Amino acid sequence: MDFSNEPYVRIYTTITPTGRAWGFFGRCLMDQLIRVADRAGVIDLDPELADLSLDMAVAVAIECGEPEWVKQHLPSLMATDSVRVMEYDGCVYLFLPKYIEAQTTNQSKSQSSRNYNEKRKAMKRAAEMGFIEEEAQSA
């Protein structure tokens, strides 16, 4: 994979109280929704599947390819207002309200410094274990 030419999203590592309420599989589902959302946090549902009379979880499940799994865990995300079902011009969408903020917020200087130090420590350890070349540490 050519990482320099691939779009990416930020997945935060802190498990918040809301994330705890979702449970492990709810957090996994949110990660997948973040991956398929556009840069505004909107997920288009197939017009044939997104009829408001359908169970929205089933519609999303078909989009994600895991019907029973998504059907079971999407309601916990919706209950915390982390995912909203929106209608516009006769179509139904999922919307991730905090997506833009999460993807565009800059790190504080102190957090950036902590990350840098953690990365150096991890790279040194990986090199000592023989997992990476010494030169890769400076990357």
CATH topology of domain 3-102: Arc Repressor Mutant, subunit A (1.10.10)
Q: What is the pLDDT of residue 75?
A: 82
Q: What is the pLDDT of residue 15?
A: 93
Q: Are 132 and 120 in contact (CB under 8 A)?
A: no
The rounded average pLDDT for each run of 10 residues, N- to C-terminus, in the chain (139 residues) is 88 92 88 88 72 52 66 82 86 88 91 92 93 72
Sequence ranges of the domains in the chain: 3-102, 106-138
Q: What is the pLDDT of residue 65?
A: 64
Q: What is the pLDDT of residue 53?
A: 40
53 CB-contact burial (10 Å; exposed 0-12 / middle 13-18 / buried 19+) = exposed
Q: What is the pLDDT of residue 102?
A: 92
